Amino acid sequence: MQKGGKVLLSSLVLLVLGAALAVSPVTAQLTVTDPVGSEDTIPPGPVANLSATADLVDISVTLNWDLSEDDYIRQVPAGTDFTSGGTFVNINDVAAYHIWRQDGEAEAEVVGSVGHGVAVYEDTEVTTGITYVYMVTAVDASGNESTPVATDPITLGPPLIGDFNGDNTVDLLDFFLFAEMFGKTPEDPEYDPQFDLAAPEGIGLSDFFVFAEWFGRSFVDGVIVDQHGEPVEL
């Protein structure tokens, strides 16, 4: 039974009680002090058919899915007095969808969310050469979260080595970042392994030679090109 169906059954019970109260002067003295299911602990149903599509031109990933089966408007009682028919309000058992992203071996984290009734999300904070796995969960107003549904791993083309600032070009800005890290070893607090291009033993001349080889290259339309716009064979 769907989450809404369980609550609907409770509402019907209350309606029957309300009708009895309206026609019986003896039972009219009875009151219901606490509506059934006042504490919501039931999560929404999961999404379905989640897919991820990479855009190698604009460097983004677009997610699409089918809405949770609980993502619809239904009516529930607003109170416990049904002597005059009662008052009902519209609610949706899905408040939002959370988008989770896992980069490589890192822990998955929430990178965005959309409201109920929305079944698409575009992630523009991605980097070429990185493999991502996405998950989507449905969340209700009480914070109950559905079982996550995951995509297959997706990679946005080959890695652009030396693109430290993620602008899809290896240029002077990246060189200045590399220069700040030059000479650092894994024992240094400021050490960043992404600058250790040759071997994980410290950032030195061997890493500089790798950086120099990639200097001037860019990621364009899904391929890596040199400073003259010619594709680079890797």
| Shared domain check, 176 and 150 | no
Torsion of CA 114, 116, 117, 118, to 10 degrees: 10
User: How many CA within 13 A on the CB side of residue 28?
Assistant: 7
**pLDDT tens digit string along 126-139?**
988 889 999 999 99
| Shared domain check, 128 and 176 | no
Q: What's the CA gap between 121 and 115, in Å, rounded?
A: 11
DSSP 7-35: HHHHHHHHHHHHHHHHH-TTGGG----S-
CB 135 within 8 A of CB 148: yes
pLDDT in tens, the chain (234 residues): 566 655 544 554 444 445 444 444 433 332 333 344 467 788 999 999 999 999 988 889 999 999 999 999 887 777 776 666 677 777 888 999 999 999 977 899 999 999 999 999 999 999 888 899 999 999 998 899 999 999 999 998 888 999 999 888 999 999 999 999 999 999 999 999 999 998 778 999 999 999 999 999 998 888 899 998 999 887
| Shared domain check, 122 and 200 | no
| Shared domain check, 221 and 134 | no
What is the tally of structural domains in the chain? 2
- Please check whether residue 151 lies inside any domain of the structure: yes
- Long-range contacts made by residues 229-232, C-beta under 8 angstroms, separation at least 24? none
Where is the domain boundary, 155, 184, 212?
A: 155
- Please check whether residue 214 lies inside any domain of the structure: yes
The CATH number given to whatever domain includes residue 218 is: 1.10.1330
Q: What's the CA gap between 108 and 119, in Å, rounded?
A: 20
- Please check whether residue 75 lies inside any domain of the structure: yes
**pLDDT tens digit string along 60-104?**
999 999 999 999 988 777 777 666 667 777 788 899 999 999 997
Residue 199: give the domain boundaries: 172-225
Please tell me whether the overall predicted TM-score, pTM, comes out greater than 0.95 for this model: no
| Shared domain check, 14 and 110 | yes
- Please check whether residue 33 lies inside any domain of the structure: yes
- Please check whether residue 121 lies inside any domain of the structure: yes
The CATH number given to whatever domain includes residue 16 is: 2.60.40.10
| Shared domain check, 189 and 93 | no
Cβ neighbours for 215, distance < 8 A, ≥ 6 positions apart = 162, 170, 171, 175
pLDDT of residue 56: 84
